[in-house]
Structure 1
Amino acid sequence: MEGSSSGKHFILVHGICHGAWCWYKLVPMLRAAGHRVTALDLAASGAHPARMDEVSSFEDYSRPLLDAVAGAGEVERLVLVGHSLGGLSVALATERFPRKVAVAVFLTAVMPCAGTRLGFTLEEDLALATMLMRVGRQFVDDPIMQDKTLLTEVNYGSVKKVFVVVKADACMSEEMQRWMVDLSPGTKAEEIAGADHMAMCSRPKELCDVLLRIANKYG
């Protein structure tokens, strides 16, 4: 799902067990506002042809995002939006390509902090999804999740971050969301009242307004 315009470029990253389809309400709104939008399927997700048992690592799982960011134009700074477990893929892409990312947005997502293991926040017993459309994995035992040197201050830590707190999330408490914000000093927080974990479906207009505000400020 891609489109192009003279506006900013949003790359939307779904959560565990979901796919690009979950952004179907938000994509046309962002495009109508004059922006380019890429909603992608991570490996073995959505319409991606691989099966989860064929995906050997979290890096392979995140490869569609990494390739999309790597292939972006040199003058094109991106707005990455990660939902739920998709926040970890956004963090990895931000660490690898910090100069291509204008702002990383974590939509009620798992947001690690620089200097800790990528999988640190997964160990807080979060329920990351309730709609198991395809088999998913959290890759908690993957070496990349345990690497304390992966997320650096000079790369990941240097990119502007915004966490979108949803107030009616039954999967991740507001307390947990704000705890992750507090772990990364300098991270800004936005709120969407009445939104559940799938804010792109339950409050798409409100989410669109928040993302446009973020992109105008940082993009």
Structure 2
Amino acid sequence: MKNGSSLLRHLLLLIFLSSPAAGEPTKKKNHFVLVHGSCHGAWSWYKLSTILQSWGNHVTALDMAASGVDPRQPKTISSAFHYFQPLTEFLAGLPSGERVVLVGHSFGGLGVAVALEEFPEKISVGVFVAASMAGPNLSVSTVHAEERSPPLDSHNVYENGEDKPPTSYILGPLKLAKHLYSLSPPEDLSLAITLVRPFPLLKINDSEFKFTEERYGSVKRAYVITERDLMATMNFQLWMIENNPPDIVVEIKGSDHMVMVSKSVELAYQLQRIAQQVSLLDF
């Protein structure tokens, strides 16, 4: 009986959140652009994309360079700007006057930061989901030095031979299970183990990243905290929020790092709410 009641509550939640009243007013739909984390691809957003589209929104999930189905190989990616090239090219090609809700997960947060500086006029809000959030007063190297997570079975990949420096690294099955997908459905973990690709070992140099208050700081930012995240811990997320305060902060209870699959409906609902809040602030 207890399991049946729990299932009923979950179904009622899905029905409520799928209704127009639970999301943004039907007269205003958004274009969400989704940037995945390291080793992943556009495929990692499949649940979230489906929900947002079912609510009438337009969704673009991009593969970064050498990720997902992008044909490039990690050893050919020399910098973060090269890695995020699919994002910057997409934003550059948007029609004049169109603004998107830009969402980055994990390492994808750096792509959001780069885009805020380069294309502030094309972004209504930058959303960092359990993501790295550098800014004018918080350097990329400082953020990455603060982020600590044991590698477990993750390992370097030597595409040029083991006598040469490593070119990339890949998240191992145990790492995925223990730190990223710890509260996600087992089928999503299996999918990830099958689809993850080696992530380029990028040289992060602070001199390459210039985030200014005039451009980066002119766009509204939101942060989505993942409460039970074992990859980007709560302490790490709160540290970034304290040192680079966004305009909006929301928390998704009971979520692991892969909130787009472990709490996909809740994340979709929060993204709709964030977009709605920003649209009201801009009115």
Q: TM-score, length-normalised on structure 1?
A: 0.90
Describe how 1:110-129 pairs up with structure 2 within 5 A: 110-127=132-149
Equivalent pair of 1:8/1:78 in contact (CA under 8 Å): yes
- Quick one: which amino acid aligns to residue 110 of structure 1? S
Aligned match of 1:64: 86
Describe how 1:54-203 pairs up with structure 2 within 5 A: 54-127=76-149, 130-131=175-176, 133-137=196-200, 139=202, 141-142=203-204, 145-147=205-207, 150-203=210-263
Equivalent pair of 1:113/1:183 in contact (CA under 8 Å): no
Structure 1: stretches of 5+ with no match in the other structure: 1-5
Deviations 1:82-139 (A, max 9, x none): 0000000110011000111100000000001214433330111333964471111352
- Quick one: which amino acid aligns to residue 38 of structure 1? T
Q: Judge which range, 20-29 or 128-137, deviates more.
A: 128-137
Q: Which has the higher helix share?
A: 2
Percent identity over the alignment is 41
Residue 119 of structure 1 aligns to a residue in which SS? Answer: helix
Question: Deviation of residue 148 (structure 1)?
Answer: 7.5
Describe how 1:201-216 pairs up with structure 2 within 5 A: 201-216=261-276
Q: TM-score, length-normalised on structure 2?
A: 0.71
Residue 81 of structure 1 aligns to a residue in which SS? Answer: strand
Residue 32 of structure 2 aligns to a residue in which SS? Answer: strand
**Structure 1 runs of 4+ off > 4 angstroms?**
none
Matched, 1:49 2:71: yes
Equivalent pair of 1:115/1:148 in contact (CA under 8 Å): no
Number of aligned residue pairs: 211
Deviations 1:22-61 (A, max 9, x none): 0000101111111110000000001100010011111010
Structure 2: stretches of 5+ with no match in the other structure: 1-27, 152-170, 177-192
CA-based RMSD of the aligned residues comes to 1.8
